[in-house]
Structures are given as structure tokens and as C-alpha cells.
Structure 1
Amino acid sequence: MQLTPKHNIASALAMASCSLLSYQTLAEEQASVNDGWNVDAAIMYYGEQERVQAVEAIGNVQKSFGESSLLDMKLVVDSLTGASASGAVAQSDSQTFTRPSGNGEYTVAAGETPLDDTFQDTRVQLSANWQEILNADWTVNLGVYGSNEYDYLSLGLNAGVERSFNKNNTTLALSGAYTNDTVDPVGGRPVALSEMVFRSDYDGDDAYQAAFDATRLLGDDTKQTADMMVGVTQILNRNWLMQANYGFSSVSGYMTDPYKILSIVDGNGQSHGYRYENRPDTRTKHSVYILAKGALDKGVVDFSYRYNTDDWDIQAHTLETHYRYYFTPSLYGQLHLRYYQQQAAKFYQPFLRTGQVLPDYASADYRIGEMSTYTVGLKFGHRLSGGHELSYRIEYYQQNPENNGTEIPDELNNHDLFPSVKAIVAQISYSF
């Protein structure tokens, strides 16, 4: 089953617009260690309570060529299993759902949040980026990206240019990325807001298959994303710098999650079937990001704020900080705190009502609903001889979905329609 690819275009843009100062420092370090080679390897575990589990292997290789060129290559392989919320609401009786493929059914116990236990996938991601310092003032870069899952293929390009002023104390950056995604869901793409069919309602397999096929569209579909980012980095003094970015993103194509559904409930909150969701095929996003980073007597600290808004009416605020403390020159600990708050998309609905005229767009996916999240993490690193480093990271993440103001019918008040999602992230990394 598909998980929306974790590749974030913003990360490609960040790579495309990294500061000249940090690049020069990295190149100098690489030139003195392993003849310009730098390798990072990591294994990460992500586990949600009673939901998705993921294991990810990450390999990153950087090679500097002289003092002006840097090649960065990355390989990510991850495996995901577990159960994902389908979008249906809990009921006082057990519920049976048709699997996305149309082959078979699964049953959810009374009072339980409906989770689709067919969630599984393996993803392979490759990316490469070339950075070139043209002279003391100009830096350019170019990157490519590819990611493949069972039902999702993503291919992209990114490029950027930087201009330094004021004795390299000020850097302006402009970068962009373009990605083309191909979606080929298991069982096919559902017809927008079509009703789920069940084998038990038909006399034979042929009649059921014909009814199921009527809820599906033939072939795959695509999505295109164009991103732009402009930013400035300013060194304030020998200990502090600030960075400010503005990002713009335009997305068009298939953005519906083919595996998400909505319950149809009556005035008492009892379910009378399910419909597949539908989302708009265009989306325009804006973001503003501000970062302050400083060197302390025995550590480094940063504070950041990000504001996101789009024409789906999703607005989000993110506050984040890292504080790294050096116990010795070779041993450090790092604290990570993050808070995120989001308002729901304008077409988000936790359920549909019987007798209601169907809207053009509707989704009960909690990921585009109203929510707040927080992350608390610790990381410890040990610098070894020869420029090597071993680090450990452990984080706790909690997501708290909230009602966006929808009136809840009687029966549904007996159930938790907005359950929290809790997860643990653990990672071991080795750099050499």
C-alpha cells in the first residue's frame, strides 16, 4: 500500500541553497580527512503505537574535488509495514471493509478506529548533487532525484545559485526544483466519492467484480510539482548568524489518496456505508522560514520558525530548537524540541451525512485535519580518531488530531474520533 513519498522538495532546495560559508568549511574538512571523501551511514527505526513501523537504511557519500567542487550522493532504502487509518469512524459494532485491491475483506472490532492492515511497502531513493564554487562570490549547483515504491514513482531535478557579498558575510540564494510523480494504486484509482462495494451484496464473483470495476479508473495518473526558494544568510558576528527564506510551490495533478475513505453516517451517528475521498487537482503553497544559530562557550544552539499556508486553507506554524553541548572536545549531547500546529483543509470532513448532497471534494484523512504535534529528542555523538564520528538519536513524537468544529452525532460521541498518534524514532549513525 502506498505511503506518500517522504522525499521533501524543501530538502532538495535546502541542499541546492546551502551557504557558501558552510560549504567552504565542509570542503576544508574533507580535504584533510580521507583525501576528500566523507561517508555517512545510518539505520533508523520509526514506530507508531499499533500503527506503522518503518526501518530505513541511509547512505551518504561526499567527494570534494580540490577546493571548489563537491559531489554529494545519497541512497535510502526503507521498509514499511503495519496499519494505517483508513478515514472511517469507529462504531459500536464491528465493521467490515473491502481491501483496496478488491480481493478480500478485513474486519475492525467494535469501538476500534478502522485501520487498514494492508499497509506495506519498500522504497528506494537515489539522489545526487553537484556544487561548484565559480569564484569568491558565486556558487552554483545541480541535482537529480529518483524514488520508487510499489505504486509510486517520483523523478526530479533541482538547481540553485548563490551570490556572496560583504566579505562573504551575506549570501543570497535562489533555487528551484521540479518533480514528476506517477501514481499507480493497488486495485486502481477510485472514482471520486464512489461508494465501496462488498462481495456479500452480490450473487457471484463476476457480478461483484463488475461492480468493483465500476468504482475504478483505468491506468495510472501523474502529479507535477514546481518549487522555488529565495533566501538570505547573514553573519551577524563571530558567534551568530541568521537565515530567512521564502518558498513557493505549485502542484497540479493527482493528489487524492486512493486508499482513504469517509464513513456515511445518519443523525444518530450509525454508519451506512463508505465513500472514497476526492481532493482538488491543484495546490499552491507559500512558506516563510527564519533561523538564528549561535556558537556558545561549550556548544551550539539554533531557533527557527516556519509559517506555511496554501489555497486548501491549511495554515501551519512550526517552532523548533536544537541545543548541542560539548561535554569534552570529542563528546557531545544534543536536545531537540519541536512544536507544530495546523488548521484543517477547507474540504476536510471527519465523515459524510446520509441525505447530504455530495461535495466536490472531501477527505477524512487526519493528516490534513486540525492538529498539533510535538517532538522531544536526544542525540549523543562521539568523535573518534581519524575524523570518524558515531552518534545515537532517540525521539518521542506525538500527534494530536482535533475536531475542526464539526457537530458530532450521538453515537459517535461514545468513541474517540480523533485518537492521538504516538511514535518512537531511533537512529544510529556512523561517519568516516
Structure 2
Amino acid sequence: MKKISLTVIGLYLGILAAFSQPKPDSVYQSRKLKIEEINLVSSYYHQEGDHAAVTGGIGSQKLTDISNSLEIKLNRYDKKYRKQTWSLDLGIDHYTSASSDKIDPKTLTSASYADTRVYPTLAFSRENEKKGTEFGVGASFSAEYDYTSIGVNGHFSKKTKNRMGEFSAKAQVYLDQIHLIYPMELRDGASPEKLKTGSDARNSFSGTFSWSQIVNQRLQLMFLLDLVQQTGYLSLPFNRTYFDDGSVHVERLPDSRFKLPLGFRANYFVGDHLVLRGYYRYYMDNWGLKAHTASLETAIKVSPFFSVSPFYRYYRQTAVDYFRPYAAHKAGQDYYTSNYDLSEFNSHFFGSGIRLAPPAGVFGIKHFNSLELRYGHYTRSNTLQSNIISLHLKYK
């Protein structure tokens, strides 16, 4: 089942350095595959709201999600002194959703009330530190109660000769299969429209391009461009849409969507104890949605081993052309939805993080490099509110 996804402000601290060729003995040792780092991330997310899409834009949006991710990175140098990195990431989410349980309101607790999503990812990259180039490939899989997804990606980056600038490009493809689970009262030919049974495909193709530049010792900039094309079944089959004549329908949206996000990042090092990270993004698509995102995060170094990172993000979007609230759609419309994720709203996301990196290791364990704890509160102008707390433990 689709659920709200919040993106915490990304951290980008590009420190570029020239390659120094190691001595033969150290090169021989570095060819052995070794653990570079292990990352364990756990989070707890809870939301409340009054505009559930499953019940046509009204009803509880209560949802709880517990997420865990374990990433293992291994590396080595090949005979040409190129750094090879293998990465394995295994994620498991478990959530409960009040609105999903309303797909079949006659049952006390349906199979859709709670679900577990498993999503492993495998990636390989090879970096030529002397030439300043890197390329990589990856594959992913995700499965839960009503869909499966297979993803593949590839990326390439090239640094300038002075290592002050870097161009990056990444291509991704996601091939999804959606199990068509309709609201109970619209099954078995009871819907006003003829509904397809079984499953349907949803495919996403995207290209991400970026340029990062170290302007001076204090200022770093990054420019980002995304091109995203989605095709196939882009509606959610369990979302109801009520018309002004009292009839109920399954959400219906176009089978093609093009997205164009443009972004800009700036990191400014005020001094040894303060870093400012700013971000702005403009988004538009051919469904009529336009959005602006602006965020600011500060990293305050309280001591050599302890820092605090308060953050704030503002977001505003217009509604897609096909959105209307509960019982406001009219007969004869080709496309319709009452999903408030596609409505007009503005939101605020704020909170803080703390990071510990003691020289003796976290809990006195040498290789536990750092521990980061973050909390964020999210609020929307259309009643949705949520809280998220996450823990990141790094072994290095």
C-alpha cells in the first residue's frame, strides 16, 4: 500500500582530494576485499490526519511505520589501482494503516491493515582516483502485499583536473507490478466502469544530472536536474472517488506523467564550529502540479566529538488538474481523484539531530565510528501531522 514518504534534508559535504599512488607493498595489501563501513538505520514514523484517499478524501489517515535498513560496503583496489566498492543494503518496513483497512469495511481487520515491505539493493562502483572518474551499476527489488518492483540503475561521474568541480549522471528504471485490489463494493462488476482484474504495470524512467563546485574554502555549490517519465497504471486501485450524484468510483488518472525537478544546494562553512546547508527545488509535471521546496540545516560543532543539527523545510504545491474533494467530482470527467497528496497545500518540517563520534568509539567500541539521532515534526495545511525519529549507527 502506498504511504506518505518524508524526505529529510540531504547532506552533501563534497571533499575532493588528489590521488596519491600508494607504494607497491600497500597496493598489494589494498587488493584484498575488506569492509569499508556498515550502516544501520532504524526509524519510527507516525501520522494522523482526516483526508484518507481510500475513503474518498475523508476519514482517518492514521499510520505507523517501523523501518530498518542494514548497509554493508566492501572495497578493494584492482591491479590498475582503481577502487572497487560493493554495497549490499537490506531494508524492512512494517506498517499499520487505518485507511487501508477500509478497503473492505465489512471486515474487522483485513489483510491490508498491516503489511511488511522487504527491499534489498545490490550495487557496484569503480573509481579511478587518479583520473577523477567513477562509474557504477545497481539493482533493487521491493515487495509487499499489493505490489512488486524491480529496479536497475547506472551512474557516472567525472571531476575536473583541479578536483574543484564534478559532473554526475545517473539513470534509473523501475518496473512495477500492481495487484489490482478494489474497494469491496466495487468488485465483481459492481463498479460504474469496467475494471481490469489481476495486475497491471507501472514503469518509471529517470535521469539525474548534477554539477558540484567548490568555490573556495568556505563555499560549495551544487546544481541538480531530474527528468522523470512514468507510464502504465498510475492510479491506486483501492482509492475511492465520490461524485456529486452520490455514486462511488475507483480513482482514475492518466497513464503517463512527466516530472521535472530543478534543484540547488549551497554549503557554507562559517567557521570551525558552524556549517550552513541550504537547498531549493522547483518542481512541475504535466498533471498541473507545481511545487517549491526551501530548506536550511545548520551543523553546530559543540565539541570535537559532538554536534547538533537543527533543520527546517518549507514546501508548497498546487493541486493536479484532476483533484476534487469528497463528492465534488461531476459525471463526464475523464480523470478524477480525491487523494489529498495531489491537492493544494503547504507544509512545514522541522526538528534536529545530534551526532556523537568519540575517538574511542561509540559505547567504547573502537570501530563503532559514530551515532546520529534525529527527530522531525511534519505538519500540513490540510490536517496531516506526523513525527519521525531515526537512529543511524556507523561501523567503520
Does the 8 A contact of 1:83 with 1:117 survive in 2? no
Does the 8 A contact of 2:353 with 2:372 survive in 1? yes
Does the 8 A contact of 1:20 with 1:164 survive in 2? no
Gap regions ≥5 residues in structure 2? 20-29, 49-59
Choose from 224, 232, 241 the match for 2:211. 232
Please name the residue that 2:132 is paired with.
Answer: 137
For 1:104 and 1:213, locate their aligned partners in 2 and report how far apart those are by CA, in whole Å.
Answer: 21
TM-score, structure 1 length as denominator? 0.75
For 1:361 and 1:253, locate their aligned partners in 2 and report how far apart those are by CA, in whole Å.
Answer: 15
TM-score, structure 2 length as denominator? 0.81
Matched residue of 1:367: which SS? helix
1:340 Cα deviation after fit: 0.7
For 2:169 and 2:355, locate their aligned partners in 1 and report how far apart those are by CA, in whole Å.
Answer: 33
For 2:373 and 2:308, locate their aligned partners in 1 and report how far apart those are by CA, in whole Å.
Answer: 10
Does the 8 A contact of 1:126 with 1:147 survive in 2? yes
Please name the residue that 1:112 is paired with.
Answer: none
1:274 Cα deviation after fit: 2.0
Matches within 5 A, 1:80-229: 80-84=95-99, 99-100=102-103, 104=106, 118-134=112-128, 135-187=130-182, 197=185, 211=190, 216-229=195-208
For 1:143 and 1:179, locate their aligned partners in 2 and report how far apart those are by CA, in whole Å.
Answer: 12
Looking at secondary structure, tell me which structure has more helix per residue. Answer: 1
1:299 Cα deviation after fit: 2.9
Please name the residue that 2:388 is paired with.
Answer: 425
Does the 8 A contact of 1:20 with 1:171 survive in 2? no
Matched positions, count = 357
Please name the residue that 1:417 is paired with.
Answer: none
For 2:86 and 2:217, locate their aligned partners in 1 and report how far apart those are by CA, in whole Å.
Answer: 29
Does the 8 A contact of 2:275 with 2:299 survive in 1? yes
Matched residue of 2:16: which SS? helix
Q: In structure 1, what residue type is equivalent to 2:243?
A: I
For 1:22 and 1:217, locate their aligned partners in 2 and report how far apart those are by CA, in whole Å.
Answer: 56
Q: In structure 1, what residue type is equivalent to 2:389?
A: A
For 1:328 and 1:3, locate their aligned partners in 2 and report how far apart those are by CA, in whole Å.
Answer: 42
Per-residue CA shift, 1:233-276, capped at 9, x if unaligned?
Answer: 1011122210001110111000111121122336xxxxx24222
1:104 Cα deviation after fit: 2.5
Please name the residue that 1:255 is paired with.
Answer: 234
1:123 Cα deviation after fit: 0.4
Please name the residue that 2:88 is paired with.
Answer: 73
For 1:23 and 1:369, locate their aligned partners in 2 and report how far apart those are by CA, in whole Å.
Answer: 48
For 1:250 and 1:279, locate their aligned partners in 2 and report how far apart those are by CA, in whole Å.
Answer: 15
Please name the residue that 1:328 is paired with.
Answer: 303
1:318 Cα deviation after fit: 0.6
**Is residue 45 of structure 2 the alignment partner of residue 46 of structure 1?**
yes
Distance verdict in 2 for CA 1:144–1:118, change over 3 Å: closer
Distance verdict in 2 for CA 1:245–1:212, change over 3 Å: closer
For 2:119 and 2:194, locate their aligned partners in 1 and report how far apart those are by CA, in whole Å.
Answer: 32
Matched residue of 1:78: which SS? strand
Per-residue CA shift, 1:317-343, capped at 9, x if unaligned?
Answer: 111121111111111111111111000
For 2:15 and 2:158, locate their aligned partners in 1 and report how far apart those are by CA, in whole Å.
Answer: 9
Distance verdict in 2 for CA 1:328–1:4, change over 3 Å: same
For 1:7 and 1:181, locate their aligned partners in 2 and report how far apart those are by CA, in whole Å.
Answer: 21
Identity, % of aligned positions: 18
What is the root-mean-square deviation of aligned Cα atoms in Å?
Answer: 3.3
Does the 8 A contact of 1:58 with 1:75 survive in 2? yes
Per-residue CA shift, 1:374-400, capped at 9, x if unaligned?
Answer: 111111111132352122111111122
Distance verdict in 2 for CA 1:3–1:357, change over 3 Å: closer
Gap regions ≥5 residues in structure 1? 25-30, 87-98, 107-115, 191-195, 199-207, 267-271, 402-419
Distance verdict in 2 for CA 1:303–1:121, change over 3 Å: same
Per-residue CA shift, 1:379-428, capped at 9, x if unaligned?
Answer: 11111323521221111111223xxxxxxxxxxxxxxxxxx111110112
Distance verdict in 2 for CA 1:280–1:212, change over 3 Å: closer
Does the 8 A contact of 2:18 with 2:163 survive in 1? no
Does the 8 A contact of 2:17 with 2:163 survive in 1? no
Does the 8 A contact of 1:55 with 1:79 survive in 2? yes
Does the 8 A contact of 1:172 with 1:231 survive in 2? yes
Q: In structure 1, what residue type is equivalent to 2:303?
A: T
Distance verdict in 2 for CA 1:314–1:144, change over 3 Å: same
Per-residue CA shift, 1:106-146, capped at 9, x if unaligned?
Answer: 8xxxxxxxxx9954221011112222113423211111111
For 1:329 and 1:129, locate their aligned partners in 2 and report how far apart those are by CA, in whole Å.
Answer: 33
For 2:41 and 2:221, locate their aligned partners in 1 and report how far apart those are by CA, in whole Å.
Answer: 29
Matched residue of 2:103: which SS? coil
For 1:75 and 1:338, locate their aligned partners in 2 and report how far apart those are by CA, in whole Å.
Answer: 28
**Is residue 248 of structure 2 the alignment partner of residue 274 of structure 1?**
yes
1:83 Cα deviation after fit: 1.7
1:197 Cα deviation after fit: 3.6
1:65 Cα deviation after fit: 1.4
Choose from 72, 81, 100 the match for 1:61. 72
Matched residue of 1:339: which SS? strand
